[in-house]
Amino acid sequence: MPGSPIDRFLKDPSISETERQSLLRDFGLDKPLPVQFALYLINTLQGNLGISFRYHPRSVLSVVLARMPWTLYLLGISYSLSIVVGIILGAVAGWKKGSKLDSATIGLSFITRSLPVFWFGMALLLVFSYYVAIFPSSGAVTPGVSYGSFIEFVSDVAWHSVLPMATIVFILLGPPALLTRNLIADVSSEQYIYAAKCKGLPFRTLLFKHALRNVMLPLSSYTAVLLGYIVSGAVFTETVFSWPGVGRLIFEAVTTRDYPLIQGAFLITAISVLLANFLADLLYSYIDPRVRYR
Amino acid sequence: MTIFNRVTTAALALLFISLLIPYSSCVPEENILRTTTLLEDLSSLNPLLGNSITDWWIFLLLYDRLTSFVPPDLHVEPWLAESWEVSSDGKVWTLHLVKDATWHDGTPFTSADVIFTIEYVKKYEISIWLDEVQNIVDAQAPDDSTVTITTDVPLANFPSYVMARTPIIPKHIWEKVDNPKEYANENPIGTGPFKFKEYKVGEYISFTAYDRYWKGKPHIDGILAKIAVPADVSVIEAKKGELDLLGIDVPYVKEVEADPNLKVIVSKGIYFDHLLINTKKYPFSLKEFRQALAYAIDKNRLIDRVLLGYGDPVDAVGSAPAFDYWYNPNVKKYPYDLEMAKQILDNLGFVDRNNDGIRETRNGTKLQFELTNLAGYSPYIRMGDVVSSQLAEIGVSMVNTPVEWATQSKKANERDFYAMVWGWTIAPEPAQYLGTFRAENPYWSAGEMRNQTFNDVFDAQKSEMSPEKRRAMIFQLEAILSEELPVIPIWIMDVVEAYRIDRFTNFTPAPMGIGGIYNKVTWLTVEPVAKPEVTETTTAATVTIQPQVTEVVPWWAYGLIVLVIVLAAALLVKMRKRT
């Protein structure tokens, strides 16, 4: 059980010279540094991200891909919820600028964004998994259980998802709420809104059909960039809740010094952020026909 | 209501309802012991590849070796080899194997498996077991339960090294594997007390008791180890009743002790923490200087302050107090004595010539050095801080400098340090750690002490077949090391664990703990606490799950993601049309 961090890396104190040499050969660590770098570039371009030190001989790509769906599921839903709730909250607050709701929203946004994720996660865990034991404290599934049907599997995962998702949604409420609030506050003084008000349109229609539509552009760019972090953006949450996703994989890789895995995971994250930005550009021109993508 | 609103409402309602459906159609069996591997996922189910602590614990359950280390002090006892004789020249071993051992798939275990294992490891140069078998020149099986092994030199540690470490693998399975270094071994078959049941990558691994185990079926029905549960969360789960056995950090002891359902067990550790000294650099090259430093370090105070008392000071360099057969109680000791330390330094001519609190050598060089430490590991960092302040009192300034593991490793390799906070596992077989002082390879040799007597005695004990004589030699080696001090010994941390006394009892403690990688016996002695009525969970018992490793993403997960993207796109289209 507990062991020193060196224990994990030094396999065996009595490892002989022959063993060490054969390991070095396996990982190509016996070649000169420039050669290693060149090999790395060539391999990466071909999609070969190397072999994980710890899960040897499994490739980095297979290890990361195997865990990705869990993270995509967790963050996909959490991000969407945080954006939707944030936008609604911010829109109403911005519309009623200066009201108590407005100041409450601003305050809440700042507080939630400043909270450390892992602390908040642990707090939720303590309250809702220990003191009031409604939700499970770790994992994505209940260990050792076999399911009678698919629905049972889905509900088991859903039950396990509540706390991690609540953590992420709460923490990420701030930015979209503040952004929307400021945008709506600006737009609400525009002429066309005044004209629509005079037409006697109800509040909800005014806000969501007229005002919000026109501030979609900056909001969608925020969404697109956030989407880039969908691969590894939940390192702390996944670690606290033992969620078997890419975030926790990175955490474990760092603690066990699995360098190929760390590099591979970060590369995949960087690529997904770039892709997301590209998508954001495309989205601009689609949402607003006045903008043309050249 | 728009269609969108209706769909959303319906989806949310469905989600809410699904939360209410009871999810467990199968209650986990009563007598499955649930534990955790803390932050360590296993790296491989292949016993020829897996090299992390978690892997070795798993192989302890699944596979057997020819001998085993047995509590209370991990001495060697027969296991798959129930008895043996060695020839008078010490080179030919005749092993008598147990006759009723079987593999998990029912095939009988025979001498052919042992021969096969040895030859297979040699043939494919399996790096983690190569050293154990490299001295074997011949292995024969005169009959199904006898093995004759010939070594090139007499090996005193044959039972405690060669026989105790290499797991025996089944011939009928591995003879078909011609690429062991890539073989995942997803359904491991061994002769061990537990069979592999299921492994959900990143989540948990589970085992069932092997009912035909040759030593008798274990008293518990199975083991389930959750993977990568953070230490804090594991304590919460134990208090909730979801974990039965766990390792705990020292700060949690009070809280755990307060819980009436949990009991704390403290076992001696085997990880030896010390100051690795570069004896090539002046003044660390002077034995007296190293001894002065040893006198100035108050080990007991260190243990009280940094480990809160959960550790033992080490005096005999080369062994651990846990292995009291091998631990020499009569070596030169360095009890905390500031005056003695100061006097030694004075005699060496190291005096504080300019009143800055730090001594200088005769030609004016300050005694100020970097104490290389490991970043991110707080017991070492705190130890470094306290040692620093203790040595400052005798006028030697050791600056506690934590560096990244890769940097520290490089410095050790290139001997680019003066003193380093370091640690090493002391195996139950003493020659393993002592051998690092004999080795020529700079990375693995500790302190680079070159002492001819040590080398001669070490080489001699390798072939000393008389246990008493060998023990005396080992004691002599420890005495030399404790006199020369190529490393300054500090402590060995205790292993602190907790278990639920309302669920299981009769654990057998051993050095490195109940969950330690050498403690096999405990898994045969642990039993469920007697309950007045055992609930028959027939559903769980009769469902035979094919041993499986699940991590391949189910095809529908990708479909779900595509569906979500399509829905989002449709939403966008709808919104745009409305503009």
Test B44 with A56 for CB contact under 8 angstroms.
yes
Test A18 with B127 for CB contact under 8 angstroms.
yes
Instruction: Find, among B317, B280, B326, B323, the residue nearest to B299 by Cα.
Output: B317
pLDDT at A287 over 90: no
By Cβ distance, the residue of A142, A249, A255 closest to B23 is: A142
What is the secondary structure of B360-386 as a DSSP string?
B-TT--B-EEEEEEETT-HHHHHHHHH
**C-alpha B283: how far from chain center:** 35
Tens digits of per-residue pLDDT, B81-97? 999 999 999 999 999 99
Output phi, psi for B146, to 5 deg: -130, 140
Tens digits of per-residue pLDDT, A102-144? 999 999 999 988 988 889 999 999 999 888 888 888 888 888 7
H/E segment holding residue A249: helix A246-255
Tens digits of per-residue pLDDT, B159-208? 999 999 999 999 999 999 999 988 888 899 999 999 999 998 888 999 99
Task: Confirm or reject contact between B578 and chain A (CB < 8 A).
Answer: yes
At A191, the pLDDT band (50, 70, 90 cuts) reads confident
CB A73 within 8 A of CB A153: no
Output phi, psi for B504, to 5 deg: -135, 155
The residue type of B111 is S
- Residues facing A235 on adjacent strands: none
Residue B258 region by backbone torsions, left for phi larger than 0, else alpha for psi between -120 and 50, else beta: alpha
Reduced to 3 states (helix: H, G, I; strand: E, B; else coil), residue B175 is coil
For residue B224, give both structure tokens: 């389930």
Residues 440-469 of B with CB under 8 A from A: 441, 443-444
Q: Is the dihedral of CA B5, B11, B14, B16 positive or negative?
A: negative
pLDDT recorded at residue B107: 94
CB B387 within 8 A of CB B297: yes
CB B38 within 8 A of CB B229: yes
H/E segment holding residue B477: helix B467-484
Counting one residue from chain A and one from chain B, the pairs whose CB atoms sit within 8 A come to 218
Helices (H), B284-377: 287-296, 299-306, 338-347
Instruction: Find, among B449, B495, B423, the residue nearest to B274 by Cα.
Output: B423
Reduced to 3 states (helix: H, G, I; strand: E, B; else coil), residue B94 is strand
Mean pLDDT of chain B: 86
Tens digits of per-residue pLDDT, A51-99? 777 777 678 888 888 888 899 899 989 998 998 899 888 888 888 888 8
* ipTM value for the complex: 0.74
Tens digits of per-residue pLDDT, B297-306? 999 999 999 9
H/E segment holding residue A275: helix A259-287
**Which residues make Cβ contacts (< 8 Å) with residue B99, sequence separation at least 6?**
B144, B145
Residues 163-192 of B with CB under 8 A from A: 181-182, 184
At B532, the pLDDT band (50, 70, 90 cuts) reads low
Q: Give the length of chain B.
A: 579
Which chain B residues are within 8 Å of A73, Cβ to Cβ? Answer: 557, 560
Instruction: Find, among B244, B236, B238, the residue nearest to B30 by Cα.
Output: B244
Residue matched to tokens 């360099």: B317
What does the alpha-carbon distance between residue B11 and residue B564 come to, in Å, rounded to a whole number? 12
> What does pTM read for this prediction?
0.81
- B554: number of Cβ within 10 Å: 11
Work out the angle at residue B165's Cα, subtended by the Cα atoms of residues B163 and B171, and round it to the nearest 5 degrees.
75
Average pLDDT of span B543-566: 58
